[in-house]
Amino acid sequence: MRNHFIILFVLLNYAGMAQTYPDESALENDWEQWQDKVPVSGHIRVGLMIDQKEEDFNPAEFYVVIPETDITNLCVELSSKDGRYSANINYDISALSAGIQQFVLPTKYKSELSDYTSNEVVILSSLNSDCKEDDDSKTFLLSGWVQNIAPDTVSVYVNLPVPTSLVAIQNDSTEHSFNCEALKFPKVAYNKKCQIPIKVIETTTELVIKARVGRGHKVHVMDYEMPVKIVKF
């Protein structure tokens, strides 16, 4: 039965798939940057992505799982592992239906980004009436470089120098905890990956990043909340 559902879901999505372009106003400013001198990144929440097996990706397009929502503004942030590439761009999603939707990324750095693998440039998509507001007012969505309609896991990418875990709070208030692994490649924009089974994320309403700060008897935990809105696969 699940296989039949997946096939139907794919057919429906491909039949109605259309590319969504960014708002023209979002392209007026320096919405993307490439820096030869590696900067120091200050963001904690860096990516929330559907895991894919393929290392290759097309940096000119990406996918977001759009939920039922009255918010018409999709805010998208992109970050390369080494901090050289960053982008902030928004899209009008008022005409889109719920499901996996394709978005055009009009980057002028396609050649540079082709040197990275799919998990070395991460996407953080969110719903917010104003993309310039801070993360506390955003609801985060799943994104990916490919249209993966049957993933096994999703990953949260964070930038924290201390031991970190991730708690997934379910719609019935139960909690699941996951360790965040330190990444091996050169780390600037993000340095840890927290992986969650798809069966857990489908019923999750909020993610909480927990950073263990201090030493000995002076250890305390800092919480960084990530409200999420997930469409079941």
How many distinct structural domains can be found in the chain?
Answer: 1
- Res. 9 pLDDT band, cuts 50 70 90: very low
**What percent of the chain shows pLDDT beyond 70?**
90
- What is the 8-class DSSP label of residue 51? -
Task: Answer yes or no: is 232 within a domain.
Answer: no
47 part of a folded domain: yes
pTM: 0.88
Residue 192 lies in a domain: yes
In a domain, 68, yes or no: yes
Beta-carbon contacts of residue 122 (< 8 Å; ≥ 6 apart): 46, 47, 49, 78, 79, 81, 157, 189, 190
Q: Pick the closest to residue 88 from 105, 101, 72, 102 (CA basis).
A: 105
Percent of the chain at pLDDT exceeding 90: 71
Strands 19-20 and 99-104: parallel
Residue type, 190: Y
Is residue 17 a part of any domain in this protein? yes
Whether the CB-CB separation of 189 and 82 falls below 8 Å is answered with: yes
Q: What is the number of other CB atoms lying within 10 angstroms of the CB of residue 181? A: 12
Domain that holds residue 6: 2-227
**CA–CA dist 80, 39 (Å, integer):** 11
In a domain, 57, yes or no: yes
202 within domain boundaries? yes
Question: Residue 201: inside a domain, yes or no?
Answer: yes
Query: Cα separation of 186 and 13, whole Å?
Result: 37
CB 46 within 8 A of CB 140: no
Q: What is the mean pLDDT of residues 193-200?
A: 96
